[in-house]
Structure 1
Amino acid sequence: MRRTKADAEATRQQIICAAERVFYKKGVSNATMEDVAHAAGVTRGAIYWHFANKTDLFMELYKSVPLPQEDMVARELESEDAEVLTVIERVAAEWLDTLANDEQRQRILSILLRCDYTGELSAVLEQQQGVDDGHMQTLEAAFARAAEKGQLGTCWTPKSAASALRWMMKGICSEWLLFGRRFDLASEGREGLRRLIGSLQAAK
C-alpha cells in the first residue's frame, strides 16, 4: 500500500514523541536508535527514512519546543510610551508560567540539561549556543532601548543587564528542573524577577 504524505508525517511525529520518552528515561548518549524504534513501534529503517542519525533526531526534538515570540516583543518595545523594563519582566514571568505548566517542555529542557554534548552531539550544543546568542542580542537591544528612555539605572550597561537577567532565568529553571522542583517556579520566579528588575530601574 502506498503511504500518503499524511501517513509519513504521522510516523515522523510518532518517532519524535518516542525519542522524547526514551531520551528522558535513558539519556541521549545511552539511548540507541533501536530503543527509539521499539518505543515508537516502527523499524529502524523507518527512523532512518526520516532522520539521518541520532543527532538529526535530537536536533528535531530540540526544535519542537516553541521559542518566545521575540519579534512581537520587539514591536511592543518600539512604542514611544513603552515601559521597557515592565515589558521585559512580564514576558520573562509568562515564560516561567509556561514552563511550570508544560510537562513536554519540562522533559525536553531536562534532556538538554543532562545531555553529554561531546562527540556526535556537539552540533546540538552549537545550535543551542546560536539560539542563546540570538536571545542575548534581543535582550541587549531591549535594555539599550530602556537606557535611551532613561529607564535603566546608570550603573548598568545593556549588556550587563541582559546578562544578569539571562543568568537568573537559566539558573532558576535549571535548579527547578534538575533538583526535584523543590519550589514554586512561577511564584518564586516572579518574585525574583520583580526584585531584579527593580534593581535595574533608574532612580526616580
Structure 2
Amino acid sequence: MNLKKIAFTACCFMLSVCALASDLSEKLQSPDYVLLIRHTLAPGVGDPTGYTLEDCKTQRNLSAEGRQQAVVVGQWLRKQGVTTADVHSSAWCRCKDTAELLHFSGFKVAPALASFFDEMHLAKARTQALEQFIAERVKTKGNKALILVTHHVNIHAFMGENIASGDMVLAKVDAQGKMTSYQVIPRPNATQR
C-alpha cells in the first residue's frame, strides 16, 4: 500500500470516528433515543442462593476487569461527546457499580431496571414498566443523555438480542417508550477510550 492510500484510509477512519461521536451525542440529546448498558463483567450467572439487594457481599459482583471496563465505557462516551447524562441503574450492586464508574454526575436506582432472572414469568410486565419509565424520563431529561444500566435479561426482553457484558444499545424509542429501532455498540476496550 502506498503512502497516499494509507493517508486516505487514515483520514476516512478519522472522519467516520468523528461522525459517530457527533451522531451519538446528538441522538442522545434528543428525546428519541436512550442508551442501555449491560453491566460490565461480573463472572458467573445469576446470584448466589440467599442473596439480598442490601448486601453486595451476597451478590455476584464486578470483577477487577469489570470495574476497569466500566471506567473505559464512561471515558469512551465522553470521547463521543456525551458530557452530561441522566443515569439510572438497577438496584443490583454490579449495575450500581457500573453506573458509578461511568463517572457522570451520580445515578439513581430505578425499579424498572431490576433483574427478573429469578422470575422469568415477569418479563412482559418488567418490559412494560421499562417502556413506561423511558417514556416518562425522555420527556424531562432535557438535552442530557438518558443512560440505563441494567441486566442481560432486561435488555434481551426489550430488544430481542443477546449482548455481552458492557455492551451498549442505542435505542430509538417512540413517545410510549417502545423501541422502534436499535444499534448495538460493542463495549470499547482500553485502546479505544
Structure with higher Rg: it is: 1
Pick 1 or 2: higher relative contact order, CA cutoff 8 A, min separation 6.
2
Please identify which structure carries the higher strand content.
2
Asked if Structure 1 and Structure 2 have the same fold, meaning a TM-score greater than 0.5 normalized by the shorter chain, the answer is no
TM-score when scaled to structure 1?
Answer: 0.32
Please identify which structure carries the higher helix content.
1
TM-score when scaled to structure 2?
Answer: 0.33
